Amino acid sequence: MSQTDYQGKLDEFRKYIRKIKHYEEAVGLIYWDLRTGAPKKGMNERSEVIGELSTEAFKLSVSDEMGEYLDYFTEPDHQQQLDETNQRIVGEAKKEYDRSKKIPPAMYQEYVVLTSQAESKWEEAKETSDFAMFQPYLEKIVNTNLKFVELWGYEGHKYNTLLDMYEPGMTVEKLDEVFSALRQEVVPLLAEIQKAEKPDRSFLRQKFDAAKQKQFSLFILKELGYDFEAGRLDETVHPFATGLNPGDVRITTRYLPEDATSALFGTIHECGHALYEQNISPDLIGTNLCTGTSMGIHESQSRFWENMVGRSREFWSRYYGDLQRTFPGQLDDVSEDAFYRAVNHTEPSLVRIEADELTYNLHIMIRYEIEKGLLSGEFTVADLPQVWNAKYREYLGVEPDNDAEGVLQDVHWAGGSFGYFPSYALGNMYAAQFAHTLRQEIPQFDELLAKGDFAPIKEFLSEHIYKYGKSQTPNEIIRRVTGEDLNPQYLVDYLKDKYKPLYGLS
């Protein structure tokens, strides 16, 4: 085949990949609408539409035509003609093809419809704190995931196959190791803090107008560099970000009437995801690399912006006056230091998304243990409320009064996202490691935060992480940016350096 014919074949393949991405973008837009404002009575039909379109994209990804493209471009003579980006595109498509080819299309469509319906049913169940309402859907989701794992195959623990979907290369063995190292340091530090004097947080629990909360959230988003010409902010039950393409990355939040900070930090968290997606290289648009490389790296950015920026003393030295002016009379008598201490308090709590930095990883470890147990058959879906409550007593010394603040608090299982939760803790570890490097590369890091000048930080992250999308693996990124593999000690050091002075510990 001549070079002209070869290039024509490559152009056809790229166009084929782009077609799949178009289907996925359409599904993403419908999903966003379903979660942000679609009428409840349209839920079932909308779920069928999502299922239909998702299945069409799925069929394209496992078609004979896709197989022919992959056979052609994985031949040694043809493969070596590909540049690095196209090699990654082919490699990603082949990985998806090899995995998805094992799933019958009808089974896939049924699962997509099931999870769409389950997410809406989860909302109802959470609102009424009725796990029994959601249980049949979750049982089907777990059973289907077990079938998927058997079809895909696995090495070691069954959970490894699901982990790899969100964090390529991660295994139960590695997670057990890093989680154990983290737990050994966090639990004693938390015990020390529990004996120390607690900061006053009463001023955070008053009526804060939702419209003004939104006003301040929009202000902070603009300050951080979120591009509103490439996104929007909406309200939903469970905050999320959805990247349709780098020119359309939408985020959502929720406004609690008696908490000024929940929506704010939730918005900054989702902004971190959005900054990643908005700054992927335009060269990757329309390819299967136009997304974050893994959920762990993705979460590193949401946790970095939410906590290491948004909860820093320097951040509030710049923005606390703006917050006071947004809610006149409500925070006038609260000092900047008192506010900083209040938003960085730590204590065992029930709800993951409201948890502080120190205890947050314990919430993730609980979910990780539960997911492993479900996959191994240690317990069943029916056992979950009791298992959940027992693990909260064991890890955090607290127990929920109802299912809404317990086993029903997260939407992830309704969407079938088993293997996702560890990404949050991995994200915290990656974030601390990236932050350590940032402080070395940008010595004026704290001064920039205090001035509200985030552009140099965002530019560094865009240049070293964001622009690559999925064209590099998590390990390649962490090694290239920081010079070493994932190291939980950076998070341990960060937490100690932050919380010991806050609580007057030596």
Q: Token pair of 135, please?
A: 């249980």
Q: Which residue has the tokens 């090699």?
A: 87
In a domain, 331, yes or no: yes
Which DSSP letter does residue 121 get? H
Annotated catalytic, 270? yes
Domain count, the chain: 2
Question: Quick check: is 409 in a domain?
Answer: no
Q: Based on the domain organization, do 216 and 311 belong to the same domain?
A: yes
Q: In angstroms, how far is the first alpha carbon of the chain from the final one?
A: 71
- Taking only the tens place, the pLDDT of each residue in 466-480 is 999 999 999 999 999
Instruction: Tell me which amino acid residue 289 is.
Output: L
| Residue in the structure block whose two tokens are 């022919």 | 68
pLDDT reading at 24 higher than 70: yes
Same domain, 487 and 436: yes
Is the same domain home to 276 and 338?
yes
Largest CA distance in the chain: 77
309: containing domain: 172-350+417-502
Asked if residue 114 and residue 203 are part of one domain, the reply reads no
Answer whether residue 69 is part of any domain.
Answer: yes
Same domain, 79 and 188: no
CA–CA separation, 127 and 124 (whole Å): 5
Based on the fold, state whether residues 92 and 208 are members of the same structural domain: no
Q: How far apart are CA 49 and CA 116, in angstroms?
A: 10
Write the Ramachandran bin of 419: left for phi over 0, alpha for psi from -120 to 50, otherwise beta.
Answer: left
pLDDT at residue number 8: 92
Q: Same domain, yes or no, for 238 and 346?
A: yes
What local confidence, expressed as pLDDT, does residue 5 receive?
84
Does residue 2 carry a pLDDT above 80? no
pLDDT tens-digit series, residues 270-303: 999 999 999 999 999 999 999 999 999 999 999 9
Task: List pLDDT tens digits, range 376-391.
Answer: 999 999 999 999 999 9
Q: Are residues 117 and 183 in the same domain?
A: no
Which residue is catalytic, options 24, 167, 270, 357?
270
Residue of 5 and 67 predicted with greater confidence: 67
Give buried/exposed letters for 250-267 (b at 16+ CB in 10 A, else e): bbbbbbeeebbbbbbbbb
Domain boundary among 139, 163, 182: 139
Is 295 exposed, middle or buried, given 0-12, 13-18 or 19+ CB atoms closer than 10 A? buried
Tell me whether residue 152 is in a domain.
no
- Judging by beta carbons within 10 Å of its beta carbon (0-12, 13-18, 19+), is residue 320 exposed, middle or buried? middle
Reported as a single tens digit per residue, the pLDDT across 484-496 is: 999 999 999 999 9
Mean pLDDT of 368-374: 96
Report the pLDDT value the prediction gives residue 506, as an integer from 0 to 100: 79
pLDDT score, position 200: 94
Residue pair 305/268 in contact (Cβ under 8 Å)? The answer is yes
Query: What pLDDT is recorded for position 414?
Result: 96
* CATH number of the domain encompassing residue 468: 1.10.1370.30
Asked if residue 444 belongs to a domain, the reply is yes
Is the domain of 13 the same as that of 108? yes
273 is in an annotated binding site: yes
Is a pLDDT exceeding 90 seen at residue 44? no
Query: Do the strands 248-253 and 241-245 form a parallel or antiparallel pair, or are they unpaired?
Result: antiparallel
Give yes or no for a contact between 82 and 72, defined as CB atoms under 8 angstroms apart. Answer: no
Is 186 in the same domain as 83? no
Nearby residues of 192 by Cβ (< 8 Å), 6 or more positions away: 503, 505
Any domain includes 189: yes
In a domain, 371, yes or no: no
Quote the tokens at residue 65: 């035509």
The pLDDT-based confidence of 322 (bands split at 50, 70, 90) is: very high
Structure confidence by residue, pLDDT tens digits, 347-365 = 999 999 888 999 999 999 9
Has residue 40 got a pLDDT over 90?
A: no
> Among 120, 139, 158, which residue terminates a domain?
139
**pLDDT for the residue numbered 501:** 95
Spell out the residues 6+ positions from residue 98 whose beta carbon is closer than 8 angstroms to its own. none
Sign of the dihedral through C-alpha 135, 255, 295, 312: negative
Residue ending a domain, choose from 116, 139, 162: 139
Identity of the residue numbered 374:
L
Confidence category of residue 1, pLDDT binned at 50, 70, 90: low
Task: List pLDDT tens digits, range 174-225.
Answer: 999 999 999 999 989 999 999 999 999 999 999 999 999 999 999 999 999 9
Q: Mean pLDDT in the chain? A: 95
Same-domain check for residues 108 and 176: no
Q: Residue 130 gets which letter from DSSP?
A: -
pLDDT grade for 237, boundaries at 50, 70 and 90: confident
pTM of the model: 0.90
Q: Is 269 known as a binding-site position?
A: yes
Q: In this structure, are 222 and 134 located in the same domain?
A: no
Q: Rounded CA gap, 285 and 470, in Å? A: 11
Rounded mean pLDDT, 119-131: 95
Residue 144 inside a domain? The answer is no
